[in-house]
Structure 1
Amino acid sequence: MKSFIWATMWVLLVTPASQLQGQQKKNTSTCVIEGTVTNQKGTPLAYANIFLEGRMEGAMSNTQGHFSFKTCATGTFTLICSYIGYRTFKERISLKPGKIIHVDITLRQQQIETSPVIVTASSFTTADREGVTLTTLEVVTTPGAAADVFWAIKTYPGVQQVEEGAGLFVRGGDVSETITILDGAIVAHPYKYESPTGGFFGTFSPFLLKGTFFSSGGFSAQYGNALSGALIMESQDIPPKKQVTIGIGLAAESAKIDLPIIENKLGLSFSGNRSNTKMMFELNRSKVDFSQYPFAYDLNLNIMYRHSRDGYFKFFLFRETDKVGVEIADPIYDAHYHGHSTNQLYNLKFSNLINRVLIQGNLAFSQFDRNMNLSAMYLEHKDRLYQFRLSAEYELKPGFTLRSGLVGFKNQTLFTGEVPKDELDLNPDAETNRVETDYRSDRV
């Protein structure tokens, strides 16, 4: 009996100890590097880049200047911290499994000298009128433009190249400061595969457009809320003849039908584009691991009715869908990004000339839906925009035009989902917070 009691006590004592030993062994397989990043005044620096030299391991500081990351490396390495406007910080550290290293980094400011930059306002047009600088064919044949209007506009002076996207950054302003207008209606989401720097391509094909006007400054109040630039596009009018156009490429297919129903009075155009990059990436051996190759398609219907010599109605319908999935390599765990968005625009425009007064107006509705999933983060983004515009123009004398108008907007933006409590934690099992934001605004 005593032997049984001693054996039972021995099992109870040994089992937790072995579990603890296994847990400690699991936790000591990596080294943790943490700390803070501040300037000489002690102010935290957010989004500083901290990493180990020669390795793909590191982190960014959060809004409080804190950072933390794990590494499986052992030995002596150089810890580097870089931040624009400050001198690069370097320090040798010794890494051992199970060790926690705390480093408080203080960065010193450094002057950045650049060549003088002269900024001048300018306007460019692609319509068939005086001052033409770019036609639809030139958009297609512009080197590096990839047959995209936004990429072609980026070749103009005053537009900066930021990353490998189509976003229009004008004179240092953010991409959101450049307004995009189609047939008088504001396009809230003018890019495919949207990102904080705009997107990779523009939404509208150059073959859907009659002309484009771009201004990097000096535009009138009719382009309200445009802080840096304005891109104004006009869709095609009544097609002059029946025509079917088909295009097939390695990663895309397109088709367009032009149909004049009543000569110079009623006509329509219908087009569709589809891009699937799977074959292109497989042939070119991309280093990026896609769980969903970039895929997109769009449909467009454009109807125009001319009720008089100086008056017409035009209806423009557009729907676009894109999706992408990317595997993100991480030294600790695997992460996956999946994105899916749908963009729709319905716009009715009318125009009429009455006794030298040009009256134009719009009724438009746009809808944008996007789902984003990255490890523990999941967000749904919905935008609804209702808008109307009414304007009148009267030419007092050559070179002097009086304009007046009224615009109205009703906007609803909704964000729902889950986000990690630690903004830098991409662990699929990370703790999350529920997000529910419903923003509504009206403006006249």
Structure 2
Amino acid sequence: MKQAFKRTITTILLIFPAIFVLAQTTVSGVVTTKQGEPIPGVNIFIKDTYDGASSDDEGRFTFRTSENAKQVLMATFIGYKSWEQEIDLTSDIKLKIELQESVNTLDAVTITAGSFTADDEGRASVMKPLDIYTTPSANGDVMAAIRTMPGTQASADDGRLLVRGGDVYETATYIDGLVAAKPYYSKTPDVATRGRFSPSLFNGVQFNTGGYSAEYGQALSSVLVLNSTGKAENDNTGISLMSVGGEANHTSSWDKSSLMLSGGYINFSGYDKIFNSNIDWEKPVESVNGTAVFRYKPRSSGLFKAYVTTDYGNLAYNVPAGSDGHPMKISNRGTTVYSNLSYRDCISDKSCYRVGVSSTFQDQQTGLAADDVNTREWSVETRFALVHDLSEGVKLTWGANGTSHLYNQDYIQDEGETYTGEFDDHLLGVFVEPEIKFSKNLAIRPGIRSEYSSVINRWNVAPRFAVALKTGENAQLSGAWGMYHQTPQPDYLKLTTDLDFEKATHYILSYQFGDVSERLFRAEAYYKTYSDLVTYSAEENGLPSNLQNTGDGYAGGLDIFWRDQKTIKGFDYWVTYSYIDTKRKYKYYPEKATPEFISDHTFSVVGKYWVNKINTQIGMSFTAASGRPYNDPNSTVFNGEKTKMYSDLSLNFSHVFYLGNQYSVFYCSVNNVLGNDNILSYRPSDLADAQGNYNLIPVKRDLKRMVFMGLFLNF
């Protein structure tokens, strides 16, 4: 009946234009942020109708509607909460709409040291999910996007985070304050991996390159803290169609709770057939994954979060490294399950607490030619922390965590020999950390952490200290010092437990000037010393022997960050530069040397421009890095040679369109647009020529040029 009535009215209005004009009501106004800045491209419409408009460059909008009486006006835009308000269409309406940032997708990456605080959030790089998705070189990977931040290495052949001279294992990943023991998909030689967790699950990514809080341990170099989203406010169904697979998700929201279920499938077989890969694939990467996210908010101060994800992957390829002159087959398949349960609430208006438990289970089968390596790991962490506002200028945080780690590995050689390594470790950690604000210009944060590891039967004590001094309205000078410990890696503990903690000491001084929402400059100098690093001798069977804590080293350098979101309207860019000088003696190194994953100089620039008229964002990222050391067995100097400079120019664009009142995105990116044939390292073959010289095999990226397309639909 209603549709028939509308058709009749439409016919009448088409016949009588004058009446049509008089029967319509004008809705106009402006859309801004909480700070009063105009937001272009916002979709404003009357709910359950097609009447509406998009805001212009100044945030203004206007449209006419034949609807009457009371209706609901809505405004939606990526990165902001949906806005709605009941309006009376008996006369023209003029509104000022103020949008708030969404807890699910935030729209920028910022370094927040400009805010006056001595805590981690005040000195860390913070990246938001939308920024990860729109960084061309990242392809939706948290770790790849973080590598555009200062203090990191390009690591195109690895994919994991390498921070300020530290090895991969020296960076710990936390989700809602709980450790994620396996944050990456399995790593195999010559093939880069990527982060396991989707950026859309988090409302912020905090990356700290050193000098971090006493709340965290078991990381010699840095911590990556992922803060997950809260309760979803709306029902939503999403379908993603990608050039490498697909994904589907559905969210249901109720009064006090929400549930999100998602599943995905990835297969690179098509890429292997279309593009000329540098890898001799026998089975390109194939994986399937599933995720469930449940949120329950019993009251305003309380929130329960439950997050479970699982994935299965399979791959196989050949590398030219066989001792008999033939390629060696490398394969990997396995399953990983990660769960994270947490609850936070307040005891009073001055005391709040967080409790939680996380669990990681991984079962991996790796094939190395005719040898098989079967590894099973299970890690469970429980943690609690309490925060007390003791007075206006004093806040005290304290807590504890306990971690159980079960490890078992069978190395089955072709000859029938089986080597079994296993251990159980129970780690207990406690910390206390006050933050004291002497005035609006000076704050300090002393802290101390202590840990006990049962597998090595040793305690450690780690004092830490941070200070922040406000030197101007938008300027801050800050510093940090601290001691950090880490239990030796499972590859060592499976062979011997007669080891000690590895140790590092950080010294950091930084200066920052500017407004994080407009223009920001930051420079940070650091120096880091290592001691008690694990060293060993490499045996012919590939297993290490004579493991000891006799290694040491240092890393020092300068990181520079500049971001400008104001000079050119609609254009946002940031530039980073990192210099590092580092050497260490660890693993099988015969002498102190620069590790093979280090580039002395790394430069990155990322730019994004929003074209309002066509609802499209164009992005560019460029990374250049000086050559990395590699070991030539024909040389007398260990790690004495270097590769040529590495460079990568990547482009992308994202076109936003609406299906009803839900936004959808068409996305396309091209990595290494110029097709540079970057040599990332060299690996010596196992065969020597008549003169005793070994051939060097260049290590390159899987695909010289990567093209990715995706259609992300929301309903």
TM-score tier by shorter-chain length is 0.5 to 0.7
**Offset, 1:320:** 1.4
The one of 417, 420, 431 aligned to 1:436: 420
**Offset, 1:398:** 5.0
Letter in 1 for 2:356: N
Secondary structure at the aligned position of 1:168 is classed as: coil
Does structure 1 retain, via aligned residues, the 8 Å contact 2:126–2:205? no
Letter in 1 for 2:326: Y
Letter in 2 for 1:283: I
Report the counterpart of residue 202 of structure 1 in structure 2. 195
Letter in 1 for 2:205: T
The one of 286, 289, 296 aligned to 1:295: 286
**Offset, 1:289:** 2.4
**Offset, 1:438:** 1.3
Q: How far apart in 1 are the matches of 2:156 and 2:343?
A: 39
Secondary structure at the aligned position of 2:284 is classed as: strand
The answer to whether residue 308 in structure 2 is matched with residue 317 in structure 1 is: yes
Q: How far apart in 2 are the matches of 1:140 and 1:390?
A: 32
Distance 1:413 1:399, change over 3 A: farther
Q: How far apart in 2 are the matches of 1:397 and 1:417?
A: 57
The answer to whether residue 155 in structure 2 is matched with residue 171 in structure 1 is: no
Secondary structure at the aligned position of 2:270 is classed as: helix
Q: How far apart in 2 are the matches of 1:399 and 1:145?
A: 41
Distance 1:156 1:397, change over 3 A: farther
**Offset, 1:195:** 4.1
Letter in 2 for 1:358: C
Does structure 2 retain, via aligned residues, the 8 Å contact 1:175–1:197? no
Letter in 1 for 2:316: G
Q: Give a deviation string over 1:86-137, Cα, whole Å, max 9, x none.
A: xxxxxxxxxxxxxxxxxxxxxxxxxxxxxxxxxxxx8789xxx999853212
Does structure 1 retain, via aligned residues, the 8 Å contact 2:404–2:425? yes
Does structure 1 retain, via aligned residues, the 8 Å contact 2:316–2:330? yes
Distance 1:351 1:218, change over 3 A: same
The one of 268, 272, 294 aligned to 2:263: 272
**Offset, 1:332:** 2.6
Q: Give a deviation string over 1:277-326, Cα, whole Å, max 9, x none.
A: 00112111324322211012221101011111101211111101211100
Secondary structure at the aligned position of 2:127 is classed as: coil
Does structure 2 retain, via aligned residues, the 8 Å contact 1:414–1:436? yes
Distance 1:157 1:287, change over 3 A: closer
What is the CA RMSD across the aligned residues, in angstroms?
2.4
Q: How far apart in 1 are the matches of 2:113 and 2:281?
A: 38
| TM alignment of 1:186-335, pairs within 5 A | 186-195=179-188, 200-262=193-255, 265-329=256-320, 330=322, 332-335=325-328
Letter in 1 for 2:387: E
Consecutive unaligned residues of structure 1, counting only runs of 5 or more, are 1-121, 420-429
**Offset, 1:359:** 0.8
The one of 352, 355, 366 aligned to 2:360: 366
The one of 134, 137, 146 aligned to 1:144: 137
**Offset, 1:162:** 2.7
Report the counterpart of residue 403 of structure 2 in structure 1. 409
**Offset, 1:197:** 9.6
Q: How far apart in 2 are the matches of 1:233 and 1:398?
A: 29
Distance 1:255 1:175, change over 3 A: same
Does structure 2 retain, via aligned residues, the 8 Å contact 1:124–1:133? no
**Offset, 1:392:** 0.4
Letter in 2 for 1:143: P
Secondary structure at the aligned position of 2:169 is classed as: helix
Q: How far apart in 1 are the matches of 2:423 and 2:158?
A: 28
Secondary structure at the aligned position of 1:406 is classed as: strand
Number of aligned pairs?
Answer: 308
Does structure 2 retain, via aligned residues, the 8 Å contact 1:167–1:198? no
**Offset, 1:170:** 0.7
Q: How far apart in 1 are the matches of 2:422 and 2:404?
A: 13
TM-score by length of 2: 0.41
State, as a whole percentage, how many aligned pairs show the same letter.
Answer: 24
Letter in 2 for 1:308: R
Letter in 1 for 2:181: A
Q: How far apart in 2 are the matches of 1:197 and 1:403?
A: 43
Letter in 2 for 1:328: V
Q: How far apart in 1 are the matches of 2:245 and 2:393?
A: 46
Report the counterpart of residue 377 of structure 2 in structure 1. 383
| TM alignment of 1:35-74, pairs within 5 A | none
**Offset, 1:379:** 0.6
With a CA cutoff of 8 Å and minimum separation of 6, indicate the structure with the bigger relative contact order. Answer: 2
Q: How far apart in 2 are the matches of 1:167 and 1:354?
A: 39
The one of 324, 328, 331 aligned to 1:338: 331
Letter in 1 for 2:314: K
Q: How far apart in 1 are the matches of 2:334 and 2:389?
A: 44
Q: Answer 1 or 2: which has greater strand percent.
A: 2
Does structure 1 retain, via aligned residues, the 8 Å contact 2:125–2:149? no
TM-score by length of 1: 0.65
Distance 1:310 1:238, change over 3 A: same
Secondary structure at the aligned position of 2:155 is classed as: coil
Letter in 1 for 2:293: N
Larger Rg: 1
Report the counterpart of residue 5 of structure 1 in structure 2. none
Does structure 2 retain, via aligned residues, the 8 Å contact 1:162–1:197? no
